[in-house]
A and B are shown apart, each in its own frame.
Chain A
């Protein structure tokens, strides 16, 4: 993981569905193709949602973790 450089962090904590996804869609357009965005969410439903969103859009869910109720997603912009 150490070689992944985060180009941008999106704080989507405390937001309800579907805002974390909608804001991620917007934010990923602000980084370059090949760069990584970090998204933080407190929505337990976001685990399934980010999997579905990356599957559907083709962006790469490079890493995910959960700690103290905060879900962290590292997504690579692929297009």
Chain B
């Protein structure tokens, strides 16, 4: 194929379960569609690049007003409710045979998706390079913009 590949650039800024799935689903699928793909992981999104972290991400019921839980919102703020909501969410997703986050990340890594860790976030959160998976690179706003400048699709999640 001599024609230029389509290109997808994503900024991933969240790492709770509903925030982590969209970037990894879109990135892995785009890679399967022969797109060139890059994800810039910033703020809490950087947690997705931590070693052994992906399958431990959680969801908090507080503030998730659309989450079908039979409890008042205020109860969602009590200790332990995040783990309860996370367990529920995981069991729903397992029931629907949704891929695990790590599976999706493995597809991305295998397909050569460019994974950029935000240096500034690493400094703020005191995250060292050795805490992150080997397959990512470290960069800043300029690195992201340079990659995204000729992208066909650019998403902020």
Q: Which residues of A contact B (CB under 8 A)?
A: 14-19, 21-22, 24-25, 52-53, 56-58, 79
Q: CA separation between A14 and B95, bound complex, in Å?
A: 10
Q: A18-B25, A22-B28 are in contact. Are A56 and B33 (CB under 8 A)?
A: yes
How many residues on chain B are close to A (CB under 8 Å)?
15
**Chain A residues near B33 (CB-CB < 8 A):** 21, 52-53, 56-57
Q: Which residues of B contact A (CB under 8 A)?
A: 1, 6, 25, 28-29, 32-35, 96-99, 104, 107
**Chain A residues near B34 (CB-CB < 8 A):** 56-57
- How many residue pairs between the two chains, A and B, have CB atoms under 8 Å in the bound complex? 38
Q: Which of A14, A15, A16, A21 contacts B32 (CB 8 A)?
A: A21
Interface SS majority for chain A? helix
A-B contact pairs, 20 of them (CB 8 A): A14-B97, A15-B97, A16-B96, A16-B99, A17-B25, A18-B25, A18-B29, A18-B104, A19-B98, A19-B99, A21-B29, A21-B32, A22-B28, A22-B99, A22-B107, A24-B32, A25-B32, A53-B32, A56-B6, A58-B1
